[in-house]
Amino acid sequence: MSSQEPRLHVDAAKAVLTGAWVLSEMQPVLAGLQAALAEAGDGGRAWDLSEVSRLDSAAAILLWRTWQGRWPEKLLISDVHRSSIERVAHLPDISLAVSPTPFRLRSLLRTLGARAWSNLHGILVVFGQLLLDLAYLARHPRDFPFREFSANVYKAGAQALPVTALVGFLIGITISYLSALQLKSFGADLFIVNILGISIIRELGPVLVAVLVAGRSGSAMTAQIGVMRVTEEIDALSTMGVSRSIRVVLPKILGLTVAMPLLVLWTSAVALFGGMVAAMMQLDLSLIYFLENLPRAVPVANLLIGLAKGLVFGYIIALGACHFGLRVKPNTESLSSRTTSSVVTSITMVILVDAVFAVLTRQIGLPQL
């Protein structure tokens, strides 16, 4: 038995502690010590801690709880160890046992409602500040951040061209291949132009680009603003008298709003090309036939609806990304959680807004049979 091992000797009148009462020494025999302390705490015994060589905060907390938050009437202890227990005595009482909270639907709904309202309020604040900044820039056009705006258009638009083209091309091939298998069995090969045109230009193109941009550019915007919050660059801008909304938020929102319709047009064109290639291989339809019949099968209103969706989707993604970026707290855990919330919220809002578009434009752009 080690001479430093904490030991407790209890008799009818006194409890004597010896050895080193520190966490490293107590841990192997912690269960036995707790049981012995619980037994010694009953009966109003005198406590002798004069033979204790070391006593840390963990042992002080253990003794203070054994004494039920009161000093024993008879206590023999050195001044150093007394000061350690006094520090614990002045701490708020924190119980180690956490009682399970019963599940209540009302409290859950209240929590979800509070979070939803907090995010909605924050987004409205960013939107209102954006309007004020636009009004200011209309009166002072020389203050417009052209360099930041062009940089965001390049990052969110030009640099996203390869990945959107690749995904669009593969989606076009997939849809054309699966549709061709069904149409061929009914002898309706020529309707592949209608299916590809309507589905890609009106629906899949904008939604596909929005999901890719939300995961790529939206998360990058949130992370960039969040890092500026962590490193206090946002506060430094305010200290220097530079508007954070004009220099940081506004260029990102306007840049992505401008770039999204162009990305939608690009991705839809590449997806249609992929569909043409698959149709030519599966149904022996020439590219010339496909291009000649596409304008007749798909009215131009569908293209305008797709571009309008891209414009709205880009604005929603950028607005949400800036909102969650500004709410990042100065720690890495908050940065990761806010970035995740930004992507999930943006994709959810894109799907909801697309459903609203589908309802409002259900009588527009459909070919007359």
By the 8 A CB rule, do 351 and 207 touch? yes
CA dihedral 44, 46, 52, 57 (to 10 degrees): 40
Coil/strand/helix, residue 46: strand
Per-residue pLDDT at 102: 57
Q: How do residues 122-171 score in pLDDT, each as one tens digit?
A: 888 888 988 998 999 999 888 898 999 999 999 999 999 999 999 999 99
Coil/strand/helix, residue 5: coil
- What is the CB neighbour count within 10 angstroms for residue 275? 29
Tell me, what DSSP letter sits at residue 369? Answer: -
Q: Taking Cα atoms as reference points, which of 234, 241, 239 lies closest to residue 322?
A: 234
Q: How confident is the model at residue 103 (pLDDT cuts 50, 70, 90)?
A: low
Q: Which two tokens stand for residue 190?
A: 């020529």
Q: How confident is the model at residue 68 (pLDDT cuts 50, 70, 90)?
A: confident
Strongest mean pLDDT among 46-55, 71-80, 211-220: 211-220
Q: Measured between alpha carbons, how far is 330 from 347 in angstroms, rounded to an integer?
A: 26
Q: Taking Cα atoms as reference points, which of 105, 110, 103, 43 lies closest to residue 72?
A: 43
Q: Which two tokens stand for residue 315?
A: 């604005």
Residue 96 has pLDDT above 50, yes or no: no
By the 8 A CB rule, do 205 and 302 touch? no
Per-residue pLDDT at 221: 92
Per the model's pLDDT, the better-predicted residue between 209 and 14 turns out to be: 209
| DSSP H/E element including 53 | strand 46-55
* Whole-number CA gyration radius for the chain: 34
Q: Which two tokens stand for residue 287?
A: 């590219």
Q: Measured between alpha carbons, how far is 191 from 268 in angstroms, rounded to an integer?
A: 18
Per-residue pLDDT at 43: 62
Q: How do residues 217-263 score in pLDDT, each as one tens digit?
A: 999 999 999 988 888 888 788 778 788 888 889 999 999 999 999 99
Least confident of 105-119, 204-218, 225-239, 340-354: 105-119
Whether pTM exceeds 0.75: no
- Domains of the chain, by residue range, sit at 7-89, 121-360
Return the sign of the alpha-carbon dihedral for residues 72, 77, 78, 81: negative
Tell me, what DSSP letter sits at residue 362? Answer: T
Q: Taking Cα atoms as reference points, which of 266, 249, 260, 264 lies closest to residue 149?
A: 249
Q: Measured between alpha carbons, how far is 196 from 191 in angstroms, rounded to an integer?
A: 9
Rounded mean pLDDT of the chain?
A: 84
The proportion of the chain whose per-residue pLDDT surpasses 90, expressed as a percent, equals 31
CA terminus-to-terminus distance, the chain: 95
> What contacts 70, CB < 8 A, 6 or more positions away?
none
Residue 1 has pLDDT above 60, yes or no: no
Q: How do residues 168-190 score in pLDDT, each as one tens digit?
A: 999 999 988 888 877 777 777 77
Per-residue pLDDT at 99: 45
Q: How do residues 273-331 score in pLDDT, each as one tens digit?
A: 998 888 888 877 778 888 888 888 888 888 999 999 999 999 999 999 999 998 888 77
Per-residue pLDDT at 2: 57
Q: Taking Cα atoms as reference points, which of 337, 318, 326, 189 lies closest to residue 263?
A: 318
Per-residue pLDDT at 264: 94
Q: In what order do the strands lie in the sheet with 75-76?
A: 7-10, 14-21, 46-55, 75-76
